[in-house]
Amino acid sequence: MKSERIDRIELMNTFIRIIESGSLSAAAVQMNTTQATVSRRLKSLEALLGSKLLLRTTHAMKLTDDGERCYQHAKTVTGHWMMLEDDVRNAEDEPVGTLRIRAPHAFGQEQLIAPLTQFLQQYPRMNVEWLLNDKAPLFISENIDCAIHVGAQPDPSTISVLLAEVPRIVVASPGLLQHYPPAHKPEDLASLPWVALSTFYQQEVVLKRTANGESRAFAIAPRLSTDSLYAVRETVLAGLGVGIVSAWIVASDLAQGRLVQVLPQWQAAPLPVWLVYPYSRYYPARLRKFLDLMREIMPGLMGMQPPEKAKKSRS
Q: What is the pLDDT of residue 268?
A: 95
Query: For residue 168, what are the β-bridge partners?
Result: 246, 268
Alpha carbon distances (Å) from 28 to 5, 31, 32, 46, 184: 21, 5, 6, 18, 59
The domain boundary residue, chosen from 89, 120, 135: 89
In a domain, 235, yes or no: yes
Q: What is the pLDDT of residue 311?
A: 45
In a domain, 299, yes or no: yes
Q: How many residues does the chain have?
A: 315
In a domain, 115, yes or no: yes
Say whether both 207 and 292 belong to one domain: no
Angle at 83 between CA 81 and CA 88, to 5 degrees: 95
Q: What is the pLDDT of residue 3?
A: 41
Say whether both 260 and 177 belong to one domain: yes
The domain boundary residue, chosen from 89, 113, 132: 89
Provide the pairing of β-strand 126-132 with 97-103.
parallel
Say whether both 104 and 148 belong to one domain: yes
In a domain, 312, yes or no: no
In a domain, 2, yes or no: no
Say whether both 82 and 17 belong to one domain: yes
Say whether both 173 and 265 belong to one domain: yes
The domain boundary residue, chosen from 61, 89, 117: 89
Residue-wise pLDDT for 175-215, tens only, equals 999 999 999 999 999 999 999 999 899 999 999 998 898 99
Query: Rounded to 5 degrees, what are φ and ψ at 89?
Result: -80, -20
Q: Which residues of the chain have pLDDT under 50?
A: 1-6, 91, 309-315
CATH of the domain at 199: 3.40.190.290
Q: Residue 42: which of 66, 68, 18 has the closest Cα?
A: 18
Say whether both 159 and 284 belong to one domain: yes
In a domain, 128, yes or no: yes
Say whether both 173 and 261 belong to one domain: yes
Q: Residue 150: which of 272, 4, 288 has the closest Cα?
A: 272
Query: Rounded to 5 degrees, what are φ and ψ at 16?
Result: -60, -45
Say whether both 130 and 190 belong to one domain: no
CB atoms < 10 A from the CB of 121, how many? 8
CATH of the domain at 281: 3.40.190.10
Cα 235 from Cα 195, distance rounded (Å): 7
Cα 209 from Cα 191, distance rounded (Å): 20
In a domain, 315, yes or no: no
Question: How many alpha carbons lie under 13 Å from residue 288 in its C-beta half-sphere?
Answer: 10
CATH of the domain at 29: 1.10.10.10
Query: What is the DSSP annotation of 106-128?
Result: HHHHHTSHHHHHHHHHH-TTEEE
Residue type, 195: V
In a domain, 105, yes or no: yes
Say whether both 191 and 255 belong to one domain: yes
Say whether both 116 and 207 belong to one domain: no
Domain that holds residue 260: 166-270
Say whether both 49 and 197 belong to one domain: no
Angle at 271 between CA 268 and CA 275, to 5 degrees: 180
Domain count, the chain: 3
Say whether both 155 and 291 belong to one domain: yes
Cα 151 from Cα 41, distance rounded (Å): 41
